[in-house]
Amino acid sequence: MTGLLTLLRKELLRFFKVSFQTVAAPIVTALLYLLIFSHAFTAHMQVFGHVPYTAFLIPGLMMMSVLQNAFANTSSSLIQSKITGNLVFVLLSPLKPWELFVAYVGASVIRGLIVGSGVLLVTLWFVPLTFVQPVWIVVFAALGASMLGALGLIAGIWAEKFDQMAAFQNFIITPATFLSGVFYSVQTLPAFWKVASHLNPFFYLIDGFRYGFFGAGDVSPWVSLIAALLGNLLCGGIALVMLLRGTKLRN
Amino acid sequence: MTLPAAAVRFEQVVKRYGRHTAVDGVTLDIAEGEFFGLLGPNGAGKTTLISMLAGLTRPTVGRVLVQGHDVQTAPQAARRRLGVVPQELVFDPFFTVREILQIQSGYFGLRRNAVWIDELLHNLGLTAQADKNMRALSGGMKRRVMVAQALVHRPPVIVLDEPTAGVDVELRQSLWDFIARLNAEGHSVLLTTHYLEEAEALCKRIAVIKTGRIVALDRTDALLQRFAASVLYFRLLRGALPPQMAQATQQAGGRVALPVRGPQDVEQTLAALRQAGCEIDELELRRADLEDVFLQLIGAGR
């Protein structure tokens, strides 16, 4: 276990040492979104019949921050140590593939949850928020973070240049989070986009997470749970197979 | 009866990249406690061999064993026994020297390693840099940290891939003193280097590889004797060397190096040159060193 815990600790230190950029910055970004969108829409909207827009938005922004930061942690760590070459020190160690997986994804989950909690802390005083089913909140935050941590691992192993990583981020992760219902309830969308949203795995992560706060969502939390588990299985499975085979790492 | 396992064993190892064959059927045993040198020009396959030994590259054919453990089928056991200093200068910019060494120890399951880390820092002249960030170190200092990183788990087999490339004289000396001490304590050492005098001074046995094949494998002293006891150097002022002589020589900047068995050959050689109408200058007879052997081996059949 010492090997795994050491790598986990190293991955945590890596972002703690630059926490201004890895924790504070995403919290400020989420706060800006909240200020702008709540100013623009609060007067016009209530969601699920009774939830004020600002309250509805907060869990969305929390989850968006969890997902993006979990992804950023594994992907940036992998691509940086690949490009600078210091990944060799991990590859020369007797760490097993599953230990690498648990340590990298574990650090991602922790960063995601820290940033998510930070977003909650700074937005809490804007509007009274309910926590109807706290267990769902924690479960979906953790599943979202681990799924994106695994996805970041895949991207980090696959990408050979910062350029490719940026493409993965800008053309897959960001659109998928923005179009998953962070800022709106998909019920309000035209039929086509509603269906499209239901094909987006991130939608279920956010919807299930929000269910924990309000006891209401666009779909049943159990459906979201199954989707979240499948997403984890898929991303985690691919990442593990890549590590086991040494894809792009040991040729 | 089972023979004691070699420190390192390459068995019929082939590595192909597409149509290019980087390593072409290498079989090699490095005994326990040996100080072994792997020499060859750039692109000969040295680093590919080391990468396969380190488990960073998979052999296309054959297998590589560290103290009897196959690096592909028993990677954990093999890696625990192996300390590799990679050729490229790489470092993690987030940490200090001591943090790096603690982390590397942790990867190998060692939680309390402070005494050995201090000893490594001391022996590699890093004590004053211990709490500096890696970014603040000079290239030579970073190289020392890489050596320390490879040794945190006291590996029985130490692999150094061009460890002194671009490193100051002072470190080269202290590094070799330290590695020689570890070797005396029983660690096996595999070294690749461009500095042939280093290999000659340190390695008891040497393999020379060229285009992925071993072209010579022997004790260092035997290798020196076998290929040329002495070398006749001269400057060619006029004329062309006789054909059979031209084949055996190395020429650089008008200076010719001709391997000879010893002083007894000098007279005959000079007569042959005179007959061919050559005029020469700056004649010198020197005992052969590894560089001469190397140039002969690598030059042959070019």
- B187 and B171 together in one domain: yes
- B101 and B186 together in one domain: yes
- B16 and B112 together in one domain: yes
Residue A6 touches chain B, beta carbons under 8 Å: yes
Verify whether the Cβ–Cβ distance B106 to A17 is below 8 Å: no
Query: What confidence score (pLDDT) does residue A220 get?
Result: 96
- The Cα B217–Cα B209 span in angstroms is 9
Question: Of B173, B189, B224, which residue sits at a domain end?
Answer: B224
Contacts of residue B91 in chain A, CB cutoff 8 Å? 84, 86
- B212 and B279 together in one domain: no
Question: Of B204, B224, B244, which residue sits at a domain end?
Answer: B224
Give the number of domains in chain B. Answer: 2
- B115 and B246 together in one domain: no
Question: Of B208, B224, B240, which residue sits at a domain end?
Answer: B224
* Residues A74-94: tens digit of each pLDDT: 999 999 999 999 999 999 999
- The Cα A250–Cα A246 span in angstroms is 5
Would you give per-residue pLDDT tens digits along chain B (302 residues)?
Answer: 456 679 999 999 999 999 999 999 999 999 999 999 999 888 889 999 999 999 999 999 999 999 999 999 999 999 999 999 999 999 999 999 999 999 999 999 999 999 999 999 999 999 999 999 999 998 889 999 999 999 999 999 999 998 877 677 877 888 899 999 999 999 999 999 877 778 888 999 999 998 999 998 999 888 877 766 678 888 888 888 888 777 767 777 678 888 787 777 888 888 888 888 888 888 888 877 777 777 777 765 44
Contacts of residue A95 in chain B, CB cutoff 8 Å? 107
Residue A228 touches chain B, beta carbons under 8 Å: no
Inside any domain, residue B266: yes
- Would you call A52 helix, strand, or coil by DSSP? strand
Task: Look up the pTM and report it.
Answer: 0.88
- CATH code of residue B124: 3.40.50.300
From the list A90, A96, A250, the residue facing B76 with the nearest CB is A96
Verify whether the Cβ–Cβ distance B109 to A89 is below 8 Å: no
Average pLDDT over residues A29-47: 85
Distance from CA of A151 to the nearest CA of B (A): 23
- B150 and B252 together in one domain: no
Average pLDDT of the residues of chain A: 94
Verify whether the Cβ–Cβ distance A81 to B92 is below 8 Å: yes
Inside any domain, residue B2: no
SS3 track for B111-137: CCCHHHHHHHHHHCCCHHHCCCEHHHC
Query: What confidence score (pLDDT) does residue B302 get?
Result: 47
- B185 and B244 together in one domain: no
Contacts of residue A93 in chain B, CB cutoff 8 Å? 79, 104, 107-108
Nearest CA in chain A to B102: A6
* Residues A198-246: tens digit of each pLDDT: 999 999 999 999 999 999 999 999 999 999 999 999 999 999 999 999 9
- The Cα B52–Cα B40 span in angstroms is 17
Beta bridge partners of A15: none
In total, the C-beta contacts within 8 angstroms joining chain A to chain B are 78
- Would you call A1 helix, strand, or coil by DSSP? coil
- B137 and B180 together in one domain: yes
pLDDT tops 50 at residue A189: yes
- B182 and B243 together in one domain: no
- B118 and B257 together in one domain: no
Inside any domain, residue B90: yes
SS3 track for chain B: CCCCCCCEEEEEEEEEECCEEEEEEEEEEECCCCEEEEECCCCCCHHHHHHHHCCCCCCCEEEEEECCEECCCCHHHHHHCEEEECCCCCCCCCCEHHHHHHHHHHHCCCCCCHHHHHHHHHHCCCHHHCCCEHHHCCHHHHHHHHHHHHHCCCCCEEEEECCCCCCCHHHHHHHHHHHHHHHHCCCEEEEECCCHHHHHHHCCEEEEEECCEEEEEEEHHHHHHHHCCEEEEEEEEECCCCHHHHHHCEEECCEEEEEECCHHHHHHHHHHHHHCCCEEEEEEEEECCHHHHHHHHHHCCC
User: Domain containing B245: what range?
Assistant: 228-299
Query: What confidence score (pLDDT) does residue B228 get?
Result: 61
Query: What confidence score (pLDDT) does residue B300 get?
Result: 59
From the list B58, B86, B93, the residue facing A251 with the nearest CB is B58
Tell me the ipTM for this assembly: 0.91
From the list A17, A86, A92, the residue facing B91 with the nearest CB is A86
- The Cα B89–Cα B94 span in angstroms is 16
Query: What confidence score (pLDDT) does residue A45 get?
Result: 76
Residue A17 touches chain B, beta carbons under 8 Å: yes
- The Cα B190–Cα B79 span in angstroms is 15
Nearest CA in chain B to A3: B107
- B38 and B62 together in one domain: yes
Residue carrying structure tokens 């103290």: B67
Q: Where are the domains of chain A?
A: 46-245
Verify whether the Cβ–Cβ distance A88 to B56 is below 8 Å: yes
Residue A244 touches chain B, beta carbons under 8 Å: no
Contacts of residue A10 in chain B, CB cutoff 8 Å? 95, 103, 106
* Residues A102-136: tens digit of each pLDDT: 999 999 999 999 999 999 999 988 888 999 999 99
Query: What confidence score (pLDDT) does residue B3 get?
Result: 60
Query: What confidence score (pLDDT) does residue A122 get?
Result: 94
Contacts of residue B76 in chain A, CB cutoff 8 Å? 94, 96
Verify whether the Cβ–Cβ distance B108 to A93 is below 8 Å: yes
User: How many CB atoms lie under 10 A from the CB of residue A31?
Assistant: 16
Inside any domain, residue B158: yes
Query: What confidence score (pLDDT) does residue B1 get?
Result: 46
Residue B76 touches chain A, beta carbons under 8 Å: yes
Inside any domain, residue B1: no
CB contacts under 8 A, A 32-51 vs B, are: none
- B58 and B157 together in one domain: yes
CB contacts under 8 A, A 69-128 vs B, are: 81, 84-86, 88-96
